[in-house]
Structure 1
Amino acid sequence: MKTMKVKFTYTILAGALGIAGLLSACNGDLLDVKPTDRISDEAIASDSSLFEDFVINRYMGVRLMDKEAEGTPPGFGRGFEYALWASLTDEAIYNNDDNTWVVQRGQLAPENTGIAGTLWSRSYRSIRECNYALAQIGALKMSASRKQRLEAELKFIRAYRYHDLIRNYGSVVLMGDLVYALQDNLSDPKLFQKSTIAEGLQYVTTQLDQAASGLPANNDSNWKLGRATKGAALALKSRLALYAASPLYSAGSWQQAADAAKAVMTLGYSLHADYRSLFQTPSSGEIIFERLYAVGARHVCLEISNGPNGFGGWAGNSPLQNLVDAYEVKVDANTAVPFDWNNAAHVADPYANRDPRFYASILYNGADYRGREIETFLPGGKDSKDGRDNWNASKTGYYLLKFLDDKLPIDNPWDVAGVQPWIYLRYAEVLLNYAEAQNEVAGADASVYDAINQIRDRAGMPDLPAGLTQSEMREAIRRERQVELAFEEHRFYDVRRWKIAIDTENEPAYGISITKNADNSLTYAKKVALDGRKFEEQHYWLPIPRAEILSSGNQLDQNPNY
């Protein structure tokens, strides 16, 4: 995707549909004027170049609340560019709250949705925009092949928005190809009647099959990085098929999920050689679908928003001890064991010999960073509350490293930093999808081991031990997803679809307390970094915001127990 072009066209196109809809709903000469600061619906529907720009802009959304992106509009993921979705889970907490603690503490309500409050409205706005474009494309003068690609692209974008709705709310309203407007009759039940989860998933996977048949195999000179491909459509279908088979959904089979993942595994994707650099490499062969950013396209700079206070950072998404404990300890080249707080050797030196993905993802006391070691110990640690800007010291004792680029500045990063891609879909996820589904179908067969061990080998971890039972492999796969996909906005949905959130999300939000003793030795102890963490049965789905219920004339059913 040509990011600068997209950023410009968003400015002139984003309001066209909403403003035109408002004007068309009004009568009188006073409002019968053509705005000069935006392109009209008629121009978009008659100019093939403008129409394609409109389609490209559908990869972005609209900012609906504070802290949803800065300058560059939110996309499908990292929409809340300060607080990541990881900070609603046992992976991290957002150091300065920013409407995340209400979720962590189980205080969600239709009137108080915190950071999660705009998913419903942004998704349906985008669905309407895609439906509008699909209604216009037939009359456009362009080649049949170009038209086919754009139609497939719109179906993919629409499917992605539905995927976001379903995984957050469960049963949702399927709009089909309807382009609704302000003057539509609100008593029409089609506007507010929810489908079942199974119906929603079937609709979206069918749309993705149609999209895959019309999308190009690769991003090339005619189809820029950041736009959907056949692989993106099939990888999203793989994710949804895995969700469908999971206990929370119970709307599909594990065999269907394994088959969907296998279809992507035949397309030629491969794992990036180095885990740490993957997240700064937009052209990697592991990336299936991503969002690109460019210098000058102002948005949140990850280094300053997440970096240690000792370097002038704001601590942002501070990793939890809950996640740190999930990274295994390497005993030797062939053996790895879980970290154990009851193991004296582990506790004496807790960051020794850990899974290399730990070192690539999390800054811990003693980690090398920008010319010195991180110091979160007390007293006197430069990256503790005894350091500079102590209000920005991490509450957990850890700082985020994954995604951050050490070559980009922390001090005065504006219009220079914040250029890393955001990866929506990558090949490692597909391998994990396959391993999980196939293990449920056939147990820990050779293909399950192969999928998981590819990922562990890339990370520098020993292969899983032979002879695991289905149950043991299930736990190994879940741990592998936790560490491989950490901070990538999967954990929130994984613990819910497995129906283990009632356990994981009721665990305290732990951090680490490190005391520097008189002899310079260090003592480590777990501490509670955020109190009041709570999860109840209704939290498996988000509440639909009260404003959406009221705007439907109370015809839209709220999710249970809210």
Structure 2
Amino acid sequence: MKTMYRLKKLPIAIVALLMFGVSCSDEFLEVAPTGSLAGPLLENQAGVEGLLIGAYSALNGVFGNRFEGPNHWITGSICGGDANKGTDSGDYSSINPIQRYEASPVDPNNDFTRFWQGRYEGIVRCNNVLSTLATAADGIPAATVARLAGEARFLRGHFYFDLKKHFNSIPYFDETVPTEEVPLIPNTPDVWTQIEADFQFAFDNVPADNGAGRVNKWAAAAYMGKAKLYQQQFAEAKQWFDDVIEDGVTSNNLKYALLDDYAQIYNAENDNHAEAVLDVESANNTGNVQNANAFDDLNYPYNTGPDGPGNCCGFFQPSFELANSFRTTPEGLPLLDGSYNNPENEVQNSFFHVIVNENDEDTFVEDANPLDPRIDHSIGRKGIPYLDWIEHPGSAWIRSFPYAGPYSPKKYIYYKSQENSFTDGSSWTRGYATMNYTIIRYADVLLMAAEAEVELGNLEAARALVNQVRARAANSEHWVKENDDPDTDAANYVIAEYPPSQFATQEDARTAVRFERKLELSGEGHRFFDLVRWGVAADVLNDYLAYESQYLVTKFGGASFTAGKNELYPIPQSQIDIQGADILTQNPGY
């Protein structure tokens, strides 16, 4: 059984103290809940550690809503064009308008509401740690006080960063604000200073070797660099990234490095690896499947038999446009001019074969032209081995070809050999896997550093960073192989490092770095937020919609991304109703 570090060493009574800070009713405030701990019982090191565990647990979500997950599979990946909702139109239909950029502040499934509340619940838990620590500090060693406060402030910075990139204008409060004043705080976009202060404090006070499953100073440094990048403060971002690349180590004291095998990033048996800068721990067989990757339980091929993972559900199907993006030239370079979507370059797939050309699926012939090998670590395609399961069978694992296309997700999927050892099969689906989700990984850091170098005009430095990522992908030992011949590649994989000519101008270098993020980090929740901060979301996503709607017309026909509106998500109307429209103002266009 895989065990979550932050749960295994603490008494059950302390774990049970997790509380909902600002969501309680007046009656709850007057009557202590059965089995809860409060006041002096918490004002000691064990009590503060227990409260901190509650803050860590909020990384995985609080209310069990799939929008709350740390991977942003809907708001980051689906809305970024990496994938579509998948399955059929009637299943989890509240996602349908969101993927068409028609989200409403009136939230029928409480998706945005739960995300908003969940992140603020995490903030409240962090503030509870800090306020309790202030009263308990006399009995705790000074170094421990600093470490506990640093971890809590790191987590608080993360929760606020997540809210900022989704909604931009948000209410901010720390542990010094009385509870009764919190609903009176208006939203504001000016929260970067506070977010950076939390990451700086964590960097200064949390040790590097803080133990697997916990944040450390180098995760804080990477996050500070990311915050600077989002503000286009490229020189400052570069300094933080340079330090992380030069000296950074994981909390279990591994020097940050790219794994030799790309697939091992997503393998539960390899958790807490050298590429994990910030991850979310998970566990199985704890009596609560929410401790596993519950936010991902729908995101498996649609199958009901023993030959595939999950026993469900067909969501999060990679897009045609993403698959085509892995096309390469015969020399192994991406088609950076966008011609990967031209008919002669489209990746051959069973949808085109069956739906467009009306042929029998049994006659389908796999794509023989050059492809980046990361396609088959990222996307399930007919005829290609699907981890250690079977070859992807095509339509047998797709709920609705005409609605969702031919592909299945492949990252953060468990292996057949891991059934019931790295999964929690105690609930309605076998799909509660327990690999850690990596919020920031080292390849992400390298590519963010490359982005900063491009914007500062250091084009050769940027090329060297991008080529580190491409060199790992070019390790043919770890390409997907045929099931019946482990010495034969499953497809025509061709990939090369960028030559100096591709980085001869800043615009060319910028295009290459941004496209590398698309390929390397596909399906990991980054794409939408990258497009927004680059200021290109409307152009890129409207092109995406136009392309996908040729094939998925019932899903995307007539959809469009509205510049000046859809870069942000709507603040839940239910929250505005609670605080008042004079305090909490809606984002433009909603």
TM-score, normalisation: structure 2: 0.78
Deviation at 1:295, TM superposition (A): 2.5
Q: Which residue of 1 aligns with 2:167?
A: 169
Deviation at 1:37, TM superposition (A): 2.0
**Pair 1:267–1:23, CA change in 2 (3 A):** farther
Instruction: Write the distance in 2 (CA, Å) between the matches of 1:234 and 1:313.
Output: 39
Q: Which residue of 2 aligns with 1:135?
A: 131
Native 8 Å contact 1:94 1:316 kept in 2: yes
Deviation at 1:307, TM superposition (A): 2.2
Equivalent residue for 1:540, pick from 539, 543, 567:
567
**2:107 corresponds to 1:112:** yes
**2:320 corresponds to 1:321:** yes
Instruction: Write the distance in 1 (CA, Å) between the matches of 2:567 and 2:463.
Output: 31
**SS of structure 2 residue aligned to 1:356:** coil
Native 8 Å contact 1:43 1:50 kept in 2: yes
Q: How does 1:90-129 map to 2 (within 5 A)?
A: 90-96=81-87, 97-98=91-92, 99-112=94-107, 115-129=111-125
Instruction: Write the distance in 2 (CA, Å) between the matches of 1:476 and 1:7.
Output: 50
Native 8 Å contact 2:51 2:125 kept in 1: no
- Per-residue Cα deviation, 1:411-433 (whole angstroms, up to 9, x for no partner): 99614751111101111111111
**Pair 1:300–1:392, CA change in 2 (3 A):** farther
Q: Which residue of 2 aligns with 1:208?
A: 199
Native 8 Å contact 1:319 1:399 kept in 2: yes
Deviation at 1:287, TM superposition (A): 0.7
**2:409 corresponds to 1:400:** yes
Deviation at 1:205, TM superposition (A): 1.1
How well do the aligned residues superpose, as a CA RMSD in angstroms?
3.3
Instruction: Write the distance in 2 (CA, Å) between the matches of 1:345 and 1:106.
Output: 28
- Per-residue Cα deviation, 1:268-297 (whole angstroms, up to 9, x for no partner): 411111111112221311111111212314
Aligned length: 508
Deviation at 1:396, TM superposition (A): 1.5
**SS of structure 1 residue aligned to 2:57:** coil
Question: Percent same amino acid at aligned positions?
Answer: 23
Q: Which residue of 2 aligns with 1:180?
A: 178
Q: Which residue of 1 aligns with 2:278?
A: 289
Native 8 Å contact 2:86 2:404 kept in 1: yes
Q: How does 1:36-55 map to 2 (within 5 A)?
A: 36-44=34-42, 46-55=43-52
Instruction: Write the distance in 2 (CA, Å) between the matches of 1:130 and 1:550.
Output: 26
**SS of structure 2 residue aligned to 1:435:** helix
**Pair 1:414–1:7, CA change in 2 (3 A):** farther
Q: Counterpart of 1:157 in structure 2: which amino acid?
A: L
Equivalent residue for 2:451, pick from 432, 436, 446:
436
- Per-residue Cα deviation, 1:84-108 (whole angstroms, up to 9, x for no partner): 7422330112224523222112222
- Per-residue Cα deviation, 1:323-346 (whole angstroms, up to 9, x for no partner): 1121132524x6554563546476
**SS of structure 2 residue aligned to 1:329:** coil
Q: How does 1:449-464 map to 2 (within 5 A)?
A: 449-460=463-474, 461-464=495-498
Native 8 Å contact 1:543 1:559 kept in 2: yes
Q: Which residue of 1 aligns with 2:57?
A: 60
Equivalent residue for 1:13, pick from 10, 17, 29:
17
Instruction: Write the distance in 2 (CA, Å) between the matches of 1:168 and 1:314.
Output: 27
- Per-residue Cα deviation, 1:435-468 (whole angstroms, up to 9, x for no partner): 1111011152x21111100000001131112122
**2:547 corresponds to 1:502:** no
**SS of structure 1 residue aligned to 2:370:** coil
Deviation at 1:138, TM superposition (A): 2.6
Q: Which residue of 2 aligns with 1:340?
A: 340
- Per-residue Cα deviation, 1:214-245 (whole angstroms, up to 9, x for no partner): 011124xxx3x221100111111111111111
Equivalent residue for 1:307, pick from 288, 301, 305:
301
Instruction: Write the distance in 1 (CA, Å) between the matches of 2:569 and 2:11.
Output: 31
Instruction: Write the distance in 1 (CA, Å) between the matches of 2:182 and 2:443.
Output: 46
Q: Which residue of 2 aligns with 1:531?
A: 556
Native 8 Å contact 1:90 1:323 kept in 2: yes
Q: Counterpart of 2:203 in structure 1: which amino acid?
A: A
Native 8 Å contact 2:203 2:218 kept in 1: yes
Deviation at 1:3, TM superposition (A): 4.8
**SS of structure 1 residue aligned to 2:321:** helix
Instruction: Write the distance in 2 (CA, Å) between the matches of 1:102 and 1:335.
Output: 36
Native 8 Å contact 2:237 2:449 kept in 1: yes
Native 8 Å contact 2:80 2:529 kept in 1: no
Instruction: Write the distance in 1 (CA, Å) between the matches of 2:511 and 2:205.
Output: 38
**SS of structure 2 residue aligned to 1:288:** strand
Q: Which residue of 1 aligns with 2:360?
A: none
**SS of structure 2 residue aligned to 1:270:** coil
Q: Counterpart of 1:359 in structure 2: which amino acid?
A: D
**Pair 1:396–1:410, CA change in 2 (3 A):** farther
**SS of structure 2 residue aligned to 1:442:** coil
Q: Which residue of 2 aligns with 1:551?
A: 578
**Pair 1:9–1:208, CA change in 2 (3 A):** farther
Pick the structure with more helix per residue.
2
TM-score, normalisation: structure 1: 0.81
**2:182 corresponds to 1:234:** no
**Pair 1:288–1:510, CA change in 2 (3 A):** same
Q: Counterpart of 1:493 in structure 2: which amino acid?
A: F
- Per-residue Cα deviation, 1:58-94 (whole angstroms, up to 9, x for no partner): 012396666439xxxx66x0478xx674223301122
**SS of structure 2 residue aligned to 1:39:** coil
Deviation at 1:484, TM superposition (A): 0.6
Q: Which residue of 1 aligns with 2:486?
A: none
**SS of structure 2 residue aligned to 1:108:** coil
Native 8 Å contact 2:85 2:404 kept in 1: no
**Pair 1:561–1:258, CA change in 2 (3 A):** same
Deviation at 1:112, TM superposition (A): 2.9
**SS of structure 2 residue aligned to 1:306:** coil
Native 8 Å contact 2:326 2:371 kept in 1: yes
**Pair 1:40–1:351, CA change in 2 (3 A):** farther
**Pair 1:78–1:337, CA change in 2 (3 A):** closer
Runs of 5+ unmatched residues, structure 2: 249-255, 349-365, 475-494
Deviation at 1:21, TM superposition (A): 7.8
**Pair 1:24–1:527, CA change in 2 (3 A):** closer
Instruction: Write the distance in 1 (CA, Å) between the matches of 2:541 and 2:115.
Output: 21
**Pair 1:331–1:511, CA change in 2 (3 A):** same
Runs of 5+ unmatched residues, structure 1: 246-252, 385-389, 514-524
